[in-house]
Homo-oligomer: A and B are copies of this chain.
């Protein structure tokens, strides 16, 4: 007698892009989900296994693929979206961001801003974001409410912040957070040093040691600007990356954000340490900060993932759009249209995030025993057709709004463009009310 697969949710009749190592596709394909995990991904009728299910989604004419991975964000900053544009970084921070944060970076507003960001991320097909901001317990709360994954990163630095007036308090807080979220189904932790130049040597060492002790990634903004590169060379005769390496920061797992200015040695450090990199495209382009040498890092085998950066500097949070701009920019800078082909591009937006954070056994492709995190896409639209190459349509033509349904950890959190776990209208209303206060 054949075994019967019991499951909570079946997705039938789909055009499945697994994004596994061989880019296996199934059409018509079937996905079976139990306890938040994929228990079957393969052909649908007439080759489907026998199964019983609580719920079924008929994905006829829909594309089903892994959700997008946002490898770097400051989600709570959405409340500052559009404040100060077309400015150099320092000007923007000094004149707009920091004065506003001094007034408005409260736990309540970080929660509201993050909720707003999670809505935008889910609506553009992202299931997980790595965050770096203040009041990260509020970030966790927002992610749990909407039902998406987050990797928390309370940004540690040697200056007083809206959250803590001294660095010591971070460590007490982080110990508590690590304990609280150990083995949480949606929330993970990283230990985040804000940047080499905002943290003392001692702080950087403690961040690295704490991350190592708890076996979580250390994360950091690294080599974002020419200024950072030049000032380290001038002051220490070495790059900020080399400086961190000499402190032992790369002895444990690191995910580094930006990485626009890297020497040959820096690139070897990133490779040999097994670090992940998040390239930040729109935000770096908008602030003219620089361009990450993505092609070279990828050629070395470093997993380069896509981060949107915060919505205050991007000003949107679509991993898809940042991925498109990233590959187009690399072709332009390298003067070579063959670099970062469509298969590579789509990996950057999905499995490379999982690899950078060492979650590739759980996320990044649709394979049995991985987490049931996926998106369903409506391709029956003019900009998708004719679909001579489905990967080209995703990388070069798809819009974030084409994502109809999002499933995270086996749970449907958006269905036919409707968010199921939160009251979207109410949150938008709260955001508008806050904006009025900010403009008084």
Interface residues of A (CB under 8 A from B): 78-83, 85-89, 116-117, 119-120, 123-124, 282, 284-288, 291, 311, 314-318, 325, 328-329, 331-332, 334-342, 380-383, 385-389, 392-393, 395-397, 399-402, 424, 428, 431-432, 434-435, 438-439
Across the interface, do B82 and A431 meet the contact criterion of CB distance under 8 Å?
Answer: no
Question: Which 6 residue pairs spanning A and B have beta carbons closest together?
Answer: A386-B435, A401-B401, A285-B328, A82-B389, A82-B392, A315-B396
Q: In whole Å, how far is A234's beta carbon from the nearest beta carbon of chain B? A: 19
Q: Which residues of B contact A85 (CB under 8 A)?
A: 341-342, 389, 392, 395-396
| 11 residue pairs from A and B, CB less than 8 Å apart | A85-B389, A85-B395, A286-B396, A288-B337, A291-B332, A311-B383, A315-B396, A316-B396, A385-B428, A386-B438, A387-B435
Q: In whole Å, how far is A143's beta carbon from the nearest beta carbon of chain B? A: 15
Across the interface, do B337 and A86 meet the contact criterion of CB distance under 8 Å?
Answer: yes
Candidates B288, B381, B389; contact of A331 at CB < 8 Å: B288
Across the interface, do A316 and B428 meet the contact criterion of CB distance under 8 Å?
Answer: no
Q: Can you tell how many copies of this chain the complex includes?
A: 2
Q: Which residues of B contact A380 (CB under 8 A)?
A: 428
Across the interface, do B331 and A434 meet the contact criterion of CB distance under 8 Å?
Answer: no
Q: In whole Å, how far is A352's beta carbon from the nearest beta carbon of chain B? A: 18
A383 to B116, CA, bound (A): 8
Given contacts A317-B383, A399-B401, 20 further A-B contacts (CB under 8 A): A81-B385, A85-B392, A86-B331, A86-B341, A87-B338, A120-B382, A282-B328, A285-B328, A286-B331, A288-B331, A288-B335, A314-B396, A325-B325, A325-B328, A329-B332, A385-B431, A385-B435, A386-B431, A399-B399, A401-B401
Q: In whole Å, how far is A68's beta carbon from the nearest beta carbon of chain B? A: 15
A88 to B339, CA, bound (A): 10
Q: Which residues of B contact A397 (CB under 8 A)?
A: 81-82, 311, 314-316
A355 to B351, CA, bound (A): 46
Question: Which B-chain residue is minimally distant from A314 (CB atoms)?
Answer: B396
Q: In whole Å, how far is A344's beta carbon from the nearest beta carbon of chain B? A: 9
Question: Which B-chain residue is minimally distant from A339 (CB atoms)?
Answer: B86
Across the interface, do A86 and B342 meet the contact criterion of CB distance under 8 Å?
Answer: yes
Q: Which residues of B contact A288 (CB under 8 A)?
A: 331-332, 334-337
A424 to B434, CA, bound (A): 41
Known: A383-B316, A424-B382. Contact between A82 and B388, CB under 8 A?
Answer: yes
Q: Which residues of B contact A439 (CB under 8 A)?
A: 388
A291 to B333, CA, bound (A): 10
Across the interface, do B396 and A87 meet the contact criterion of CB distance under 8 Å?
Answer: no
Question: Which B-chain residue is minimally distant from A425 (CB atoms)?
Answer: B380
Candidates B81, B388, B396; contact of A80 at CB < 8 Å: B388
Candidates B117, B335, B382; contact of A123 at CB < 8 Å: B382
Across the interface, do B428 and A116 meet the contact criterion of CB distance under 8 Å?
Answer: no
Q: Which residues of B contact A120 (CB under 8 A)?
A: 382-383
Question: Which B-chain residue is minimally distant from A434 (CB atoms)?
Answer: B386
Across the interface, do B82 and A393 meet the contact criterion of CB distance under 8 Å?
Answer: yes
Q: Which residues of B contact A331 (CB under 8 A)?
A: 86, 285-288
Across the interface, do B338 and A86 meet the contact criterion of CB distance under 8 Å?
Answer: yes
Known: A382-B123, A382-B424, A399-B400. Contact between A392 and B338, CB under 8 A?
Answer: no
Q: Which residues of B contact A395 (CB under 8 A)?
A: 85
A311 to B387, CA, bound (A): 12
Q: Which residues of B contact A318 (CB under 8 A)?
A: 383
Q: Which residues of B contact A393 (CB under 8 A)?
A: 81-82, 315
Across the interface, do A337 and B87 meet the contact criterion of CB distance under 8 Å?
Answer: yes
The winner among A87, A328, A337, A386 for most chain B CB atoms within 10 A is A386
A286 to B332, CA, bound (A): 7
Q: In whole Å, how far is A111's beta carbon from the nearest beta carbon of chain B? A: 15
